[in-house]
A and B are shown apart, each in its own frame.
Chain A
Amino acid sequence: MNRNMNVAARILGAYAVIYVAYLYVPVLFLPLFSFNDSIYISFPLRGWTLKWYQTMFANEALHRALVNSLKVGMMTALISTILGILGARAVTRYQLPGQKPVVAMIMLPLVVPEIILAMAMLIVILRMGGSLGLVSIAAGHVLICVPFAMVVLMSRFEGFDRSLEEASYDLGENAWWTFWRVTFPNVLPGIVASLLLTFTISFDEFIMAFFLGSTNPTLPVFMWNQLRFPKLLPGVLALGACILIASVFIVLLAEWFRRRNTSETQTGDMTIG
């Protein structure tokens, strides 16, 4: 029995290591070739260079795209987190009749193919005479970010004990002071995590930005447009590598905030079913 357990543990452990390698190695080809001194993305490697990064950073259009992405990302993060706070507070505090279908509806954008959501929004915007641009992209991003904000914040609010607020009232603080002295400090890490995660999602999102945007693209759309020109490909790799590193950094920061003061057992945050 014990020996069987050990063998199983070893096999599964080896599998886990291979699996993690499978997750990461393909993506690592992007930074690898971004340092390769060749316009062709192929082995053998020709030597080390930073010129693709230099040409990329010198590109004015890329600067504009980056600024666009930052604008959309911040708009999205702020709006979807505020909506997430309200929604998460409502469903964790009150027992709402019909809560399950209502929450399911808010979570629906997680599973509906983005292209369908994008096209449906496109119809409404153009039929109503609206124009496409950063605002319409942000609207699309808010729709797909609200479920994530809700999930992150709901797990934080659920861990937050209602009686803490009652204790504060009991000790003489009114609603305003109770919010600042008890509620806010306890949910703050969740709010920061939500801001960071929704920003990342928006920053990396392509479909909404592609179909709901104008000729003034965000970073992922800019990247997509570059793909048509093979000689620009190494520059795209360099840009991709930078975006990857930025995303990883922001997500790790978000995770750090999300797990602060919560026990290790709370891992069900991302389950939606």
Chain B
Amino acid sequence: MADAFIEIASVSKSFGSVTAVDNISLSIRKGEFFSLLGPSGCGKTTLLRILGGFETPSDGKVMIEGQEVTHMPAHLRSTNMVFQNYAIFPHLNVEQNVAYGLRQQKLSREAQAEKVSAALAMVQLEGFEKRGADEMSGGQKQRVALARALIKRPKVLLLDEPLGALDKKLREEMQIELRILQQQVGITFVFVTHDQEEALTLSDRIAVMSEGRILQNAPPREIYERPCSRAVADFIGQMNLLDGVVASVDEQISVSSAALGPVSVGSNNQTVRTGDAVTLAVRPENLSLSDVPTPGGLAVTLKASAYFGDTTHYRVNPLEGDGSTLDVSQQDYQGSDRSGDQAWLHFDSSNFLLLKD
């Protein structure tokens, strides 16, 4: 990529016999909010630590702003990290923590104090200068860690699951603040998380990782609406995944699935031939139910329902199918939701995705 700010080229990292990062190539643009998303153990933290200089790749190269940094130690890199547990120095107070990285700049006392108070103002921690590390909440520690890293004016800020330790409400608040802060300072953020909602909310681009590889690297909307594989579809949001076989290939592709019978779908950039085993994917919100028979409606039996406030989930079982179930998310279903009741399922086959694996 021409405008690559961070370039990761064929990077691998093994620990003993375990391959944590498996031949990953990746470009990140300047000023981008980039997320590495995946379950624990997928190699996302290792990749972040390679960027920070805490791990040396077994193979491959890392460039930042055109300069190779593969073997450059952490303390010489222009990257800074917000650690998962924040790593606030317990023997220093807030002010001393934030000023920690300024020693080499040999600033005057006033200049340093000015920088520190500006950094604390940025994360809304004015007045906390003399607090000790053990007198702060998780959210406050996180702000100190942010201020401490940003005061260094890094080219890249690395964030290792920084919101993981916070409770849900605070986490959502911090997500918004983090996004605003990133746009304010214009620094490239590389953000590691296992929380797909968090990644979708915050990122300009997401790389979904599994077992040391990148499954898909795309903007959030594309990741959500057009996952490229069954694994990504399964990991991001709720998704009905149905086994099927390609019946015919024309302008439209006809797939026959045991659950729904024949369905015509768009190609979704996948090349398939008649007889291929494929997966049909459809999100619960793209299905709907009615309690009276309608043309094109598929008769189903209700198995269970769960109320979520803004929506209700229904688990249904097509009468004619092989017994596999589908989840439907709907706000305004009027019918009875007792288990065993009958209903009619509607879908628009253009919402179906065709996945090859």
| Contact A171/B90 with A166-B54, A166-B74, A166-B83 known, Cβ cut-off 8 Å | no
Residues from chain A with Cβ under 8 Å of B152 in the complex: 171-172
Please give the number of chain B residues whose Cβ is less than 8 angstroms from any Cβ of chain A in the complex.
24
B321: min CB distance to chain A, Å: 51
Q: Which B149-177 residues have a C-beta within 8 angstroms of A? A: 149, 152
User: Known contacts A166-B54, A261-B90, A261-B91: does B80 contact A171 (CB below 8 Å)?
Assistant: yes
CA distance A42 to B13 in the complex (A): 76
Interchain CA distance A167-B80 in the complex, whole Å: 9
Q: Are A170 and B85 in contact (CB under 8 A)?
A: no
Residue A173 CB within 8 A of the other chain: yes
What is the number of residues of chain A that contact chain B, defined by CB distance less than 8 Å? 19
A170 touches B52 (CB 8 A): yes
One digit per residue, 1 when the CB lies within 8 angstroms of any chain B CB and 0 when it does not, for chain A 152-169 equals: 000000000101101111
Q: Is B87 an interface residue (CB 8 A)?
A: yes
CB-contact partner of A161 in B54, B87, B104, under 8 A: B87
> Is A163 touching B85 in the complex (CB atoms < 8 A)?
yes
Q: Decide yes or no whether B81 CB sits under 8 A from chain A.
A: yes
* Residue A214 at the chain B interface, CB threshold 8 Å: no
- Interface check A76, CB cutoff 8 A: no
Alpha-carbon distance A207/B76, docked complex (angstroms): 54
Q: In the assembly, what is the distance between CA of A166 and CA of B80, in Å?
A: 11
- Near A by CB (< 8 A), chain B positions 316-346 give none
**Most chain B beta-carbon neighbours within 10 Å: one of A163, A167, A168, A182:** A167
Inter-chain contact A167/B103, CB cutoff 8 Å: no
B61-89: which have CB < 8 Å to A? 73-76, 79-81, 83-85, 87, 89
CB distance from B81 to the nearest CB of A (A): 5
With a cutoff of 8 Å between Cβ atoms, the chain A residues found around residue B84 in the complex are: 163
Is B100 an interface residue when CB atoms closer than 8 A count as contact?
A: yes
Q: How far is the CA of A168 from the CA of B73 in the complex (A)?
A: 12
Pick the residue among B54, B87, B90, B103 that contacts A173 (CB under 8 A). B103
Which chain A residue lies CB-closest to B134?
A261
Chain A residue with minimal CB distance to B158?
A: A170
Check A161–B85 contact: CB distance below 8 A: yes
Q: Which of A168-223 contact B (CB under 8 A)?
A: 168-174, 177-178, 181-182, 185-186
**A174 and B76 alpha carbons, distance in the complex (Å):** 8
Is B283 in contact with chain A by the CB < 8 A criterion? no
Whether the Cβ atoms of B91 and A170 lie closer than 8 Å is no
A186 to B79 CA separation, bound complex (whole angstroms): 25
CB < 8 Å: which of B52, B80, B81, B87 contacts A164?
Answer: B87
B100: nearest residue on chain A (CB-CB)?
Answer: A171
Known: A161-B85, A163-B83, A163-B85. A169 touches B73 (CB 8 A): yes
Interface residues of A in 61-91 (CB under 8 A from B): none
> Which of A168, A172, A261 has the most chain B CB atoms inside 10 A of its CB?
A172
| Contact in complex: A170, B80 (CB < 8 Å) | yes
Task: Tell me the smallest distance from the CB of B71 to a CB of chain A, in Å.
Answer: 14
**B205 CB–A CB distance under 8 Å:** no
A185 CA to B79 CA in the complex, in Å?
Answer: 26
A164 to B54, CA, bound (A): 13
In the assembled complex, the Cα of A174 lies from the Cα of B77 at a distance in Å of 11
Which of chain B's residues have a CB closer than 8 A to the CB of A171?
75, 80, 100-101, 148-149, 152
Residue of B nearest to A164 (CB): B87
Residue of A with least CB distance to B80: A170
| Residues of chain B lying within 8 A (CB to CB) of residue A177 | 103
Q: Is the CB of A164 within 8 A of B89?
A: yes
Bound-state CA distance A166–B91 (Å) is: 16
Asked if B75 contacts A174 (CB within 8 A), the reply is yes
- Out of A167, A182, A185, A261, which one reaches B83, CB within 8 Å? A167
Q: Which residues of B contact A185 (CB under 8 A)?
A: 91
* Nearest CB in chain A to that of B101: its residue: A171
What B residues does A163 contact at CB under 8 A? 83-85, 87
Q: Which of A161, A164, A172 contacts B75 (CB 8 A)?
A: A172
Cβ of B46 to closest chain A Cβ, rounded Å: 14
Is A169 touching B91 in the complex (CB atoms < 8 A)? Answer: no
User: A4: shortest Cβ distance to chain B, in Å?
Assistant: 38
The 10 closest A-B pairs by CB, nearest first: A171-B101, A167-B87, A169-B74, A163-B87, A169-B75, A185-B91, A170-B81, A163-B83, A172-B75, A164-B87
Given contacts A161-B87, A173-B101, A181-B100, 11 further A-B contacts (CB under 8 A): A161-B85, A163-B85, A166-B74, A166-B81, A166-B83, A169-B75, A170-B52, A170-B79, A172-B76, A174-B75, A186-B91
Question: Can you report 29 residue pairs joining A to B where beta carbons are below 8 Å apart?
Answer: A161-B87, A163-B84, A163-B85, A163-B87, A166-B54, A166-B74, A166-B87, A167-B81, A167-B87, A167-B89, A168-B75, A169-B75, A170-B52, A170-B74, A170-B75, A170-B149, A171-B100, A171-B148, A172-B75, A172-B103, A172-B152, A173-B75, A173-B101, A173-B103, A174-B75, A178-B75, A186-B90, A186-B91, A261-B91
Partner-B contacts on A (CB < 8 A): 161, 163-164, 166-174, 177-178, 181-182, 185-186, 261
